[in-house]
Amino acid sequence: MSHAPLASDAGRAADRLPAVSARAVGIGLRATLTAVALGGLYAGNWAMIAPNRLVQGDGLAAPSLLGAWAHAAALGLVALTSSGSGRAAELMAPIRFAGLLGLLIGMVVLTGLFGSELLAGRPAPARYMVGSGFWVFVAALLLLLLDDARLLRPARLALILGFGVLAVAIARRTGSFEALSIMVEYRARADVFHTALVRHLSLSCGALGVALVLSVPLGWLAFRGRRARAVIDAGLSGIQVVPAVALFGLLVSLLSLALGAWPRLRELGLAAIGPTPALIAVAAYLALPLTRGLAGGLAAAEPALIETAHAMGMPERRIAWEVRLPLGLPVFVAGLRVATVQAIGLVTLGGLIGAGGLGALVFEGMAQFAPDLIILGSAPVIAFAILSDLGLRAFELRLARPLS
C-alpha cells in the first residue's frame, strides 16, 4: 500500500478534470458527426441514375452532381458545428439547430432538382435514386439535430420544426422531389399506399383496443392476487417467445378449422385470412405490456396513502378509482407505450398473411428486389413507431412530474 497516496493524488487530479473533459467529449462528438457527414458528401455515392427501377445505377458524387452547392453545404456545415463551446454553444443552439435543419432540407431539395435536370430527355423507365453517401449525410445531420434538440425550449423547437415542415410542403408543391425514385414509386401506387396506411393504423388501433379489453380484467386479477399474477404473467410471457410470423400462420389454420366446424362464425364477420387473425395475434402480444402496466400502476401508490384512505373509511372501489388509478397512471402509460410501439411493428407482419397494411408493400418490395418500394412501405412504419414512442414517453414524464 506504499503507492496509495500517489494513486490518490492522481485520482484527485482526475476529479478536477471532468468539467473540462466532458465539454471536450461534447465537442469531439460534434466534430466526429461533422466529419462523417462530410465523408458522405465527398467520398460517398450521392445519387445514382439507372435505366430502370430494378438495376443498380451509375454512381454520382455530390460535387459532380451539385457542383458549387456541395462545397457551400460543406462550408455551412463546418461553420455551424464549430460555433464555440460551453455557454456560447448553448446560446447558439437554436440558431445552429435551425441552420442544420435548413441545410438538411436544402440538400434534399437540391438533390431532387438536379435529378429532374438529369432525367430530362431520358426514356421514361429511367430512375434517379439517392445513394449511400446521401444516407450517411442525412443520418449524421439527424444525429447532430437530435443532440441539439434537448438544448432548445419546447416552444422554440416546435416553431423551428413547424417552419421545416412548411418548407418541405412548399418544396413538394413546387415539384422539387418529383424526380426522386421513391416519389416515382409513390406516384405509381398512391392509392395502394394510402389504403395500406389507413389499414395499418386501424389494425394497430384495433389490436390495441382488443388487448385493452382483455388486459383490464387480467391486470385487476394480477393486482389482487400473487398466485393469479404468477399464472397470468407466465401465460402471457409464454406467448412472447412464439415467433409472431408463426402465431399469425397458426391462427389462420385454427380459424379456418373453427369456421369449418361452426359456419355461423362467418356471419359475425370472421374470416380465416385477412385482418381477423392479424388482429387476434397482435392483441395476444400486446396483452403482456398492458397487463403489467395496469397491475404495476394499481400497485404503485404508497402503502401509507392506501392506509390513510382506509382509515378515512373509503371503500375499496373508491380507493381504486380515486387513489390508485391517478397515482398509477404513469406506470400504465409506460405499458401503453411499449404496447403501441409493438403493435405498429407487429401489424407489419400481417402483410405475410394477407392482412394488408404497410407490411404488404414492404414484402412486395422484397419479392421484387425493389429498394424504393421497401423504403416507401418502411418509412411510415418507422415514423409511426418513433413518434408514438416519443409522444407517449413525453406524456409519461409529464404525468410523473408532480409526484417526484
Partner 1 sequence: MRTIRPGLASGALALALAVLAEPTVALAVAAALGGAAKAPVPADRLVDLACRHAALAFASVAVATALGVGLGVAVTRSSGTALRPLVDMVAAGLQAVPPVVVVALAFPALGFGAAPTLLALVFYCLMPVLRGTVAAIEAAPADVKEAARAMGFTRLQLVLRIETPLALPLIAEAVRVALVLAVATAAVGAIAGAATLGTPIITGLQNQNELHILQGAAATAALAFLMESAWLIATGLIGRDQSNG
Strands (E) in 119-263, as ranges, are 127-130
Residue 176 or 181 with smaller CB distance to partner 1? 181
Residue 82 or 308 with smaller CB distance to partner 1? 82
Q: Shortest distance, CB of residue 9 to partner 1, whole angstroms? A: 9
C-alpha cell at 58: 451509375
Q: Shortest distance, CB of residue 16 to partner 1, whole angstroms? A: 11
Q: Shortest distance, CB of residue 11 to partner 1, whole angstroms? A: 5
Residue 169 or 386 with smaller CB distance to partner 1? 386
In order of 26, 256, 262, 390, 393, the CA distances from 387 in angstroms are: 26, 36, 42, 5, 10
What's the CA gap between 106 and 384, in Å, rounded? 24
What's the CA gap between 168 and 1, in Å, rounded? 66
Pairing of strands 47-50, 58-60: antiparallel
What's the CA gap between 260 and 272, in Å, rounded? 10
Q: Shortest distance, CB of residue 349 to partner 1, whole angstroms? A: 6
Q: Shortest distance, CB of residue 263 to partner 1, whole angstroms? A: 15
Q: Shortest distance, CB of residue 117 to partner 1, whole angstroms? A: 26
Residue 146 or 216 with smaller CB distance to partner 1? 146
Q: Shortest distance, CB of residue 36 to partner 1, whole angstroms? A: 13
Question: In the complex, which residues of this chain contact partner 1 (CB under 8 A)?
Answer: 1, 3-8, 10-11, 14, 17-18, 21-26, 29, 132, 143, 146-147, 150, 238, 240-250, 252-254, 257, 260-261, 341, 344-346, 348-349, 352-353, 359, 362-363, 365-366, 369, 371, 374-375, 377-378, 381-382, 385-386, 389, 393
Residue 67 or 260 with smaller CB distance to partner 1? 260
Q: How many residues does the chain have?
A: 404
Q: Please, which contacts does 116-125 make with residues 24 or more away whose CB atoms are closer than 8 Å?
A: 116/175, 116/178, 116/179, 118/49, 118/65, 118/179, 119/49, 119/179, 122/49, 123/51, 125/51, 125/52, 125/53
Residue 29 or 305 with smaller CB distance to partner 1? 29
Closest-CA residue to 352 (of 268, 244, 235): 244
Check the CA dihedral 122-126-130-132 and report its sign. Answer: negative
The Cα diameter of the chain in Å comes to 87
Residue 143 or 221 with smaller CB distance to partner 1? 143
What pairs with residue 49 in β-bridges?
58, 128
Q: Which residues make Cβ contacts (< 8 Å) with residue 258, sequence separation at least 6?
A: 265
Q: Shortest distance, CB of residue 79 to partner 1, whole angstroms? A: 21
C-alpha cell at 296: 404495476
Residue 27 or 61 with smaller CB distance to partner 1? 27
- What type of residue sits at position 304? A
Residue 393 or 398 with smaller CB distance to partner 1? 393
Residue 222 or 344 with smaller CB distance to partner 1? 344
Q: Shortest distance, CB of residue 325 to partner 1, whole angstroms? A: 27
Q: Shortest distance, CB of residue 383 to partner 1, whole angstroms? A: 10
What's the CA gap between 348 and 371, in Å, rounded? 17
What's the CA gap between 350 and 368, in Å, rounded? 19
